[in-house]
A = this chain, B = another copy of it.
Amino acid sequence: MKSSEGNPLTTIQRQSFDILKSRASSSHTLDSLHFSSDTPQQKVSVAYLGPRGTYTHQAAIECFQSSAQHLAVNTIADIFDSVKHKDATFGLAPVENSTNGSVAITLDLFRDQDELYIWNETYLRVSHCLLGTSDTGKVKRLYSHPQASIWVYYTNGKAFGQCELWLSKYLPGVNRINTNSTSQAAQAAELDPEGASISSMICADIYNLRVLAMRIQDSDDNTTRFFVISKSPNYETEEAITLMNLPQQKNFLRKTILRFTPNPMKQMAVSKCLLILTQFRVLSVIIRPSLKKDWHYVYFAELEGELSEENLRDMELLCVDIRVLGSFWSRFTI
């Protein structure tokens, strides 16, 4: 669904925008607060990749209710650290994009630590908006991150490329200015009466901008998947479940994510580990360098169901490391 001329938000888009706007306003206030467990409504906090207004911020708002606190941090490693040090109850770490594939940095952080778990997951459909203070027809300068997404390490695509069709139709010849983030683009647009930015929708509220157009990207097939990480795999308190509007058991998929490092001294260890996993429906297998031996890998397997104690014991004999990162009911079904 594309926006047509003159910012004609459909009723559904309008409603969805209003909901997000109200959530962004709430988080707005809470963002500046430090996590504290003094009062019940402050019990859950979520660390996300800042600055405020990023797509990860939007995912945090969509995933958790506005009564959760949102804590902006600078790097994906900081998300892990915030949860480790209990500055935040949960962290939202991007793990995969439907077009660009897995996020190596997040996987490497899961490879290198033994304290955190994958508590659940959430999905965000990335949607670029044109934000400004005036009308589309008056825009003379366009601010945008050259790769307007969090996938800076991965993507080949660029923001301008991503929105090329729309921009060539509605803003041909407009001067394009690179910024360091989609949030910084919005900040620049706020100060420039003839400027507009390509940013997430929540930036409109944060930076006092109007949504001049929604979903201006060429393709709608760009969804980002995040892991909700926590100190404990069993942090399924009623409050957290309500806050995150977690799926109920029925009609959903029970997923298990397993990390294992086959023993390089055992010739068929990889094959034997995979053989055990093939009893389950395998959803994905991802490898990252183990860094212990060249061309030797840590495996991340995602399965339907849960491994038995016996499965895990059998694999332990073949591996130098094995850890269930999480088992949870996912909203996602294949």
Contact = CB atoms under 8 A, between A and B. Distances in A.
Interface of A: 96-102, 104-105, 153-156, 221, 223, 225, 264, 267-268, 270-272, 274-275, 277-289, 291, 294-297, 299, 332, 334
Contact of A272 (B97, B270, B278): B278
A104 B102 CA distance: 10
A86 to B, nearest CB: 26
Contacts of A287: 101-102, 284-286
Contacts of A268: 281
Given A221-B294, A295-B98, A285 B288 contact: no
Contact of A270 (B102, B104, B282): B282
B154 A291 contact: no
12 contacts: A102-B287, A105-B156, A223-B294, A270-B283, A271-B277, A271-B280, A272-B278, A278-B278, A283-B295, A284-B287, A286-B286, A296-B334
B264 A295 contact: no
A102 B107 CA distance: 13
Contacts of A281: 267-268, 270-271
Closest 7 CB pairs of A and B: A271-B278, A275-B278, A270-B282, A98-B294, A271-B282, A285-B285, A274-B278
Given A332-B295, A334-B264, A334-B295, A101 B278 contact: no
Contacts of A225: 295
Contacts of A283: 270, 295
Contacts of A275: 275, 278
A100 B100 CA distance: 16
Given A153-B154, A270-B282, A295-B332, 14 more contacts: A96-B295, A98-B289, A98-B295, A99-B289, A100-B289, A102-B287, A221-B294, A223-B294, A225-B295, A267-B281, A271-B280, A275-B278, A283-B295, A295-B334
